[in-house]
């Protein structure tokens, strides 16, 4: 009989459920989108109950597509998103504030002006940026005192999407998260390997409201069959989505790297058992925590908008009817015709770290067609990743000689080729693009003994295709145009946000 593991990948726009065999094959999958809420300019919210409903629907679809009964479940999730829920009813008093949300930019400016950023960065490896959970919780405390009073009284718990889903899956019995998710909140001290009383005080978050931090794999909780599709199985894997993709790509050794093209694009390099710090715009983060207390770390370059730019072409502009159209359209023209698209739709991540930047399309002429704009979109995604890869070299860390890629947008052959051409290194696409979910399955399976070691998992990974770089004489000029456009997009919303 085949041994299988269930993986839940609670992403930014939808939830994917995978049933994965002991050979690493995806036996069944289910997917369910959930709504995005934009209550004001630069604000992005999710209704926690809609995430939970999408989770149940995705799991139900995956289980219906196979006769296998999973022996454990692993969870991976959109990181940094701040979620509140009632400990008894599990209902949420407000929507979750999503990682993309920019409303806390003025608050970050205030903390930076007060001189707090050096100490925060030294403790967390992160920056004072709206991206992170702590800034969002501070905003709720300041702007919604009635809601926050329920947090300080102990009635309402706070956490990230993983801890919320676990609360729902266990009928409220478990309030936990793992080290990888905790390290993205601005409330986790890398040296303490736990919540920081000083940081919690700075952001006004009661430490008792936060989840207990557990290892990223091992038997950490048990699902309740009354609320979770009749399944009573161990929750044995937890990791933030990018760390989970790093695990799913088999990047277990220091120096190994990957890029995931999802809603955003994220380049991570495993740095081993010692945190490495950078002053070039990279983030220091926990990769995963082991049951014996060991911690592995990573350096990360974060791009906020990648696949979301293609989604905007579809839903916002109506230029395409599906993301699959982008490759055919972009391939119909030899280049972008001088058009540059800076997809700073939710500000810029590394290396600029500018929450006030906004998206820009420049270089349009009467000869510009939608094909040029679509191609400029793919180039803009790749340019952002190239800028991040350059940071690793600038920081004096090991040269990335090959980039392993995954995520939905990685199925676009043209995007992968553009990326290889820009970086002038091979781009290797894994055979399972849903590596984020695969990593969650690997963690859970490792946690219950389906796999005995990471060496066994590394042998499972398979490459679908390698894109070799080709030199184009226009690449240098295109990079200069890109960097000029990025500078023009920066600070666009600063006055508006500060006044608001």
Q: Which position has the token pair 């919320």?
A: 164
For the chain, domain boundaries: 4-250
Rounded to whole angstroms, how far apart are CA atoms 319 and 306? Answer: 17
For the chain, how long is the longest CA-to-CA vector? 63
- What phi and psi values does residue 69 have, to the nearest 5 degrees? -105, 110
CB atoms within 10 A of CB 470: 10
Dihedral of CA atoms 142, 148, 151, 155 in degrees, nearest 10, equals 180
pLDDT tens, the chain, 500 aa long = 578 899 999 999 899 999 999 898 899 999 999 999 999 988 999 999 999 999 999 999 999 999 889 999 999 999 999 999 999 999 999 999 999 899 999 999 999 999 999 999 999 999 999 989 999 999 999 999 999 999 999 999 999 999 999 999 999 999 999 999 999 999 999 999 999 999 999 999 999 999 999 999 999 999 999 999 899 999 999 999 999 999 998 899 888 889 999 888 999 999 999 998 888 889 999 999 999 999 999 999 989 899 889 989 998 888 888 888 898 999 999 999 999 999 999 888 888 888 889 999 999 999 999 999 999 999 999 999 999 988 887 665 567 788 889 888 888 999 999 999 998 989 999 888 888 999 999 999 999 999 988 989 988 888 889 999 987 645 545 888 999 999 999 998 876 554 44
- Within 13 Å and on the Cβ side, how many CA atoms surround 410? 30
DSSP H helix total and E strand total for the chain:
17, 23
pTM of the predicted protein model: 0.86
Is residue 361 within 8 A of residue 376, CB to CB? The reply is yes
Residue pair 419/426 in contact (Cβ under 8 Å)? The answer is no
153-187 exposure pattern, b = at least 16 Cβ within 10 A, e = fewer: eeebbbbbbbbbbbbbbbebebbbbbbbbbbbbbb
Q: Give the phi and the psi of residue 212 in degrees, each rounded to 5.
A: -70, 140
Q: Can you name the residues that pair with 362 across neighbouring β-strands?
A: 340
How many Cβ atoms sit within 10 Å of the Cβ of residue 415?
27
Q: Which CATH architecture has domain 4-250?
A: 2-Layer Sandwich (3.30)
Residue 154 DSSP SS3: coil
Q: For residue 459, is the peptide bond before it cis, meaning its omega torsion is within 30 degrees of 0? A: no
The rounded radius of gyration (Å) of the Cα atoms in the chain is: 21
The pairing of strands 194-195 and 212-214 is unpaired
């Amino acid at each position: 009989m085949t041994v299988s593991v269930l993986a839940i990948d609670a992403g930014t726009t939808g939830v994917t459920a995978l049933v994965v065999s002991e050979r690493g094959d995806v036996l069944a999958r289910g997917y369910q989108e959930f709504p995005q809420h934009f209550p004001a300019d630069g604000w992005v919210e999710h209704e926690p109950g809609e995430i939970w409903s999408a989770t149940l629907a995705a799991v139900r679809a995956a289980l219906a597509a196979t006769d296998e009964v999973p022996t454990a479940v692993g969870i991976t999730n959109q990181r940094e998103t701040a979620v509140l829920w009632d400990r008894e009813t599990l209902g949420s008093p407000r929507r979750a504030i999503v990682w993309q949300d920019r409303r806390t930019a003025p608050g970050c400016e205030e903390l930076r002006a007060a001189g707090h950023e050096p100490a925060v960065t030294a403790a967390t490896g992160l920056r004072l940026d709206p991206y992170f959970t702590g800034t969002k919780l501070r905003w709720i405390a300041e702007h919604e005192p009635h809601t926050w009073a329920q947090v300080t009284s102990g009635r309402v718990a706070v956490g990230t999407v993983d801890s919320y889903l676990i609360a729902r899956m266990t009928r409220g019995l478990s309030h936990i998260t793992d080290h990888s998710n905790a390290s993205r909140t601005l409330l986790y001290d890398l040296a303490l390997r736990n919540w920081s009383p000083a940081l919690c005080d700075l952001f006004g978050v009661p430490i008792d409201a936060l989840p207990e931090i557990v290892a990223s794999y091992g038997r950490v909780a048990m699902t309740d069959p009354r609320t979770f599709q009749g399944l009573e199985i161990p929750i044995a894997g937890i990791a933030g989505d990018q760390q989970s993709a790093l695990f799913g790509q088999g990047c277990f050794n220091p120096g190994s790297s990957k890029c995931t093209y999802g809603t955003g694009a994220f380049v991570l390099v495993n740095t081993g058992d010692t945190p490495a710090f950078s002053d070039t715009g990279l983030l220091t983060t926990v990769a995963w925590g082991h049951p014996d207390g060991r911690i592995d770390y990573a350096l990360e370059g974060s791009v906020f908008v990648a696949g979301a730019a293609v989604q905007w072409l579809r839903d916002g502009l109506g230029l395409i009817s599906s993301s699959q159209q982008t490759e055919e359209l972009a391939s119909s023209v030899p280049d972008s015709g001088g058009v540059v698209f800076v997809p700073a739709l939710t500000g810029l991540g590394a290396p600029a770290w500018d929450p006030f930047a906004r998206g820009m399309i420049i270089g349009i002429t009467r000869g510009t067609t939608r094909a040029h704009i679509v191609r400029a979109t793919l180039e803009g995604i790749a340019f952002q990743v190239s800028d991040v890869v350059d940071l690793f070299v600038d920081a004096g860390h090991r040269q990335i000689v090959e980039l392993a890629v995954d995520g939905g947008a990685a199925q676009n052959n043209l995007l992968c080729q553009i990326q290889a051409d820009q970086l002038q290194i091979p781009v290797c696409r894994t055979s399972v693009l849903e590596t984020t979910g695969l990593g969650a399955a690997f963690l859970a399976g490792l946690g219950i003994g389906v796999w005995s070691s990471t060496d066994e998992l590394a042998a499972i990974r398979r490459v679908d295709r390698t894109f070799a770089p080709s030199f184009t004489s226009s690449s240098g000029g295109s990079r200069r145009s890109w960097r000029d456009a990025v500078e023009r997009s920066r600070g666009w919303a600063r006055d508006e946000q500060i006044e608001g």
